[in-house]
Amino acid sequence: MTDVSSDTRLLRTQGVTAPAGFRATGIAAGIKSSGALDLALVFNEGPDHAAAGVFTRNKVKAAPVLWSQQVLTTGRLRAVVLNSGGANACTGPGGFQDTHATAEAVAAALSDWGTETGAIEVAVCSTGLIGDRLPMDKVRTGVREIVHELAGGLTGGEEAARAIMTTDTVPKQVALHHRGRWTVGGMAKGAGMLAPSLATMLCVITTDAVADSAALEQALRNAAARTFDRLDIDGSCSTNDTVLLLSSGASEITPSQQDLDDAVLRVCDDLCAQLQADAEGVTKRIVVTVTGAENEDEALTAARVVARDSLVKTALFGSDPNWGRVLAAVGMAPVSLDAERITVSFNGFPVCVDSTGAPGAREVDLSGEDIAVVVDLGVGSASASIRTTDLSHAYVEENSAYSS
Amino acid sequence: MTDVSSDTRLLRTQGVTAPAGFRATGIAAGIKSSGALDLALVFNEGPDHAAAGVFTRNKVKAAPVLWSQQVLTTGRLRAVVLNSGGANACTGPGGFQDTHATAEAVAAALSDWGTETGAIEVAVCSTGLIGDRLPMDKVRTGVREIVHELAGGLTGGEEAARAIMTTDTVPKQVALHHRGRWTVGGMAKGAGMLAPSLATMLCVITTDAVADSAALEQALRNAAARTFDRLDIDGSCSTNDTVLLLSSGASEITPSQQDLDDAVLRVCDDLCAQLQADAEGVTKRIVVTVTGAENEDEALTAARVVARDSLVKTALFGSDPNWGRVLAAVGMAPVSLDAERITVSFNGFPVCVDSTGAPGAREVDLSGEDIAVVVDLGVGSASASIRTTDLSHAYVEENSAYSS
């Protein structure tokens, strides 16, 4: 038997260009007034162009989300263009035309360089302040420049990962090489997806495995439900959250669905850990696990309620083992629980047993950066975890001065 | 026609002892190590002793809530004893025995002074840190002392209001004199009730109107649903929240149910405004109103989602008219809305029309202490409001250092 774990390594030095058949880079197109990188392109050279996506559940969807959902109905993509410096959300019909024009510009530039491409093969992602139109002259010029660079052979997954950053302090990317035969790579920014989000969460994952759009869709939905959907920084959900998965088939290997699911899950999980660690204002990385629930959905609901509770999050910011707030929070979760039989531990130390304080509970040391909160509801055997962060002064500072 | 408004004045210089037939005071019993007032008693001399209550919806209920819910099934109360300095929540069977013993001590002391009283006529309320047992020797001594003081004629509604304070900076009380004929008085601490709460919310309301427990129950449920239940500071909900309404009948006036409902509603509404203004870390008093909803429940749900959103609350702390966050928040509310037809105004200035930014939206001045956010969902004609506050550094500071 081969040791699978050592043969399927995660490398954070690589990203979306680790799989064969993908090129990517990022440039400064002038969308951000700071002059930082703000435009990224991920280009799939093929031979396959299968793709799948998951998007924000927010009813208020940004123009690029509406566009990308539409083009994904074909199950194929040649390219993804991403910009920071503006969310293009709540921008009306004009904003949707801007997204369409961006896709057209990418398609035209790629066609000029010999890859016949239609706008319908180009997904668009945007992140930044809601409500402002994009500077389309800069976007158009940037698109021509970035396609020119990629066509000329320049490629850099890390530059792409940098170009999608907003309040992120570091780029996030990772690659998984499956026994040296096929590869999954990914990049992400922000922290949030589906239910959660503190800023827009954008993520592009690539693979050189042979997989059709149905296989990609299954792998992506499975992974998103277990990773991005369980990362909850502040309970908010962006208008722009998008996760895309593209396959080039360039490895000529067709993995089993299980192997594909596992690889995509591991890449998404690692990107989530990176997003959590770089969340706005984070001083503590917190995992809230609920056990003893009637079923996994209820465990997840209860964990999310605790993970979102401002009083729990501020207590943990203060390294304060104030377990009573955990009980007060979980008591409001719309799930079955035995109010007399709840147990809570912090970092493995039982602080509350049968809904009453345990000896030494007030002295538990939570001064470290990682805090594990485990809550047992006492009614079943299902469990689930939510990753979150503390609620710190830095979070308030960053978010009270974002747009001004 | 009499001018009703001038004849039913709200006076914040009076509280639970404004109605005839009630005595109250607060003492320092040593439950708080600071030596501050920490024990209050409200005593109904009658002739009637009707009462009603509403309690936290948290599944994890403190011992005094379980006790008071039980005694309220009789529809009558002679006294309410309240302590700060300890919530007596998550304290197990021993904690419940402590509550029972406290009620017994009050009943015995009142009986000693000539008012034959059973423990079942005494409601108990507690507030403070969750998880610690109360120092019962101090509670017992304090109960004897406070009954002695009341029996000796000493009375002071404001002392009672002070004795229930925790992180409150000012006592909250108000009285409404209905055309000089009958009176409703109340006191409150904390901020929260039912869905909301940042600390325990305790409130005792008294009236000398003649009203049976069914009439009181209707008036209280009606008022709580429109006031305390629409005050949402941080989405948390205490294990101890309690609102009690007692009538002495001492005025010998039996008001119509409508007049009673109106008076109790006005007292509760004024106490809510006081709680909001003194909420932990508040720098802005915010009212989120949702209009254009399909029904009032959906309006309320949407307003609550916006009022709880950390990104909205931090933006308003920063006086930042970042209306995009309001759209992102309301888009996650589980209600009907037209995602293309949402309008938002800040302090009456339209910042978003048909889900896109309005001219001048980024320059709206939100530097004042009061901010009105109005969101129209564009699908109906129902509306509802939630009172909340901003998310400030002071909130984080206060709540990261509460128990330690």
DSSP string, B209-249: S---HHHHHHHHHHHHHHTGGGB-SSS---S--EEEEEE--
Task: Compute CA distances B52 → A118, A279, B56, whole Å.
Answer: 69, 47, 14
Other CB atoms within a 10 A radius of the CB of residue A7 amount to: 12
**B396 close to A (CB below 8 A):** yes
Other CB atoms within a 10 A radius of the CB of residue A6 amount to: 8
Decide: residue B330, CB within 10 A, 0-12 exposed, 13-18 middle, 19+ buried.
buried
pLDDT at A224: 92
Among A196-205, A228-237, A252-261, B122-131, the range with the most confident prediction by mean pLDDT is A252-261
Which segments of chain B belong to CATH 3.60.70.12? 4-277
Which helix H or strand E contains A242, and what residues bound it? strand A242-247
The reply to whether B399 sits in an annotated binding site is yes
ipTM of this complex prediction, to 2 decimal places: 0.79
pLDDT at A191: 66
The tokens describing A245, both together, are: 């998965």
Of B38, B108, B40, B96, the closest CA to residue B65 belongs to: B96
When CB atoms are compared, the residue of A95, A324, A393 closest to B130 is A324
CA B292/CA B360 separation, integer angstroms: 24
Tokens 């009943």 sit at which residue? B107
Contact in structure between A192 and A201 (CB atoms under 8 Å) = yes
Of A185, A190, A221, the closest CA to residue A204 belongs to: A185
**A236 close to B (CB below 8 A):** yes
The three-class DSSP label of residue B331 is: coil
pLDDT at A199: 59
Helices A63-72 and A92-112, packing angle to 10 deg: 50
Q: Do B57 and A322 touch (CB under 8 A)?
A: no
Which segments of chain B belong to CATH 3.10.20.340? 285-400
Say which residues have a Cβ less than 8 Å from residue B351's Cβ, sequence separation at least 6.
B321, B323, B344, B345, B357, B358, B361, B364
Other CB atoms within a 10 A radius of the CB of residue B33 amount to: 9
Contact in structure between B195 and B183 (CB atoms under 8 Å) = no
User: Is residue B200 flagged as an active site residue?
Assistant: yes
pLDDT at B2: 39
| Chain A residues within an 8 Å CB radius of B309 | 235-236
**B160 close to A (CB below 8 A):** no
pLDDT at B213: 97
pLDDT at A44: 97
When CB atoms are compared, the residue of B58, B129, B327 closest to A332 is B58
State the best of A56, A59, A240, A312 to mutate against chain B, taking most chain B CBs within 10 Å: A59
pLDDT tens profile A7-60: 678 999 999 999 999 999 999 999 999 999 999 999 999 999 999 999 988 888
Which segments of chain A belong to CATH 3.10.20.340? 285-399
Q: How far is A343 from chain B (nearest CA, A)?
A: 11
The rounded mean pLDDT for chain A is 91
State the best of B309, B325, B389 to mutate against chain A, taking most chain A CBs within 10 Å: B325
Contact in structure between B364 and B266 (CB atoms under 8 Å) = no
**N-terminal to C-terminal alpha carbon distance within chain A:** 58
The interface residues of chain B toward chain A in range 305-364, judged by CB-CB distance below 8 A, are 308-311, 314-315, 317-320, 322-325, 327-332, 337, 339, 342, 352, 354-357, 361-362
At A214, phi and psi to the nearest 5? Answer: -65, -40
The tokens describing B183, both together, are: 């009176």
Q: What is the CATH number of domain A285-399?
A: 3.10.20.340
pLDDT tens profile B244-291: 999 999 999 999 999 999 999 999 999 988 988 887 778 899 999 999
pLDDT tens profile A357-367: 999 988 999 99
pLDDT band, residue A195 (cuts 50/70/90): very low
The tokens describing A249, both together, are: 């088939």
Q: Do B315 and A238 touch (CB under 8 A)?
A: no
CA A304/CA A320 separation, integer angstroms: 20
The three-class DSSP label of residue A215 is: helix
Which helix H or strand E contains A83, and what residues bound it? strand A79-83
pLDDT at A309: 87
State the best of A238, A320, A325 to mutate against chain B, taking most chain B CBs within 10 Å: A325
Angle CA B331–B335–B340, to nearest 5: 50
pLDDT band, residue A3 (cuts 50/70/90): very low
Q: Hey, which residues of A are catalytic here?
A: 200
**Residue in A closest to B92 by C-alpha:** A356
Query: In this structure, which CATH number among 1.10.510.10, 3.60.70.12, 3.40.190.10, 3.30.420.40 belongs to the domain B4-277?
Result: 3.60.70.12
Q: What is the CATH number of domain B285-400?
A: 3.10.20.340
Task: Compute CA distances B275 → A314, B143, B199, B389, whole Å.
Answer: 21, 27, 11, 11
Residues in chain B, pLDDT under 50: 1-5, 193-198, 404
Chains A & B: contacts with CB separation below 8 Å: 214
Decide: residue A191, CB within 10 A, 0-12 exposed, 13-18 middle, 19+ buried.
buried
* DSSP assignments along A87-106, one per residue: ---S-HHHHHHHHHHHHHHH
Tokens 């690539």 sit at which residue? A206
Which is more confidently placed, A196 or A161?
Answer: A161
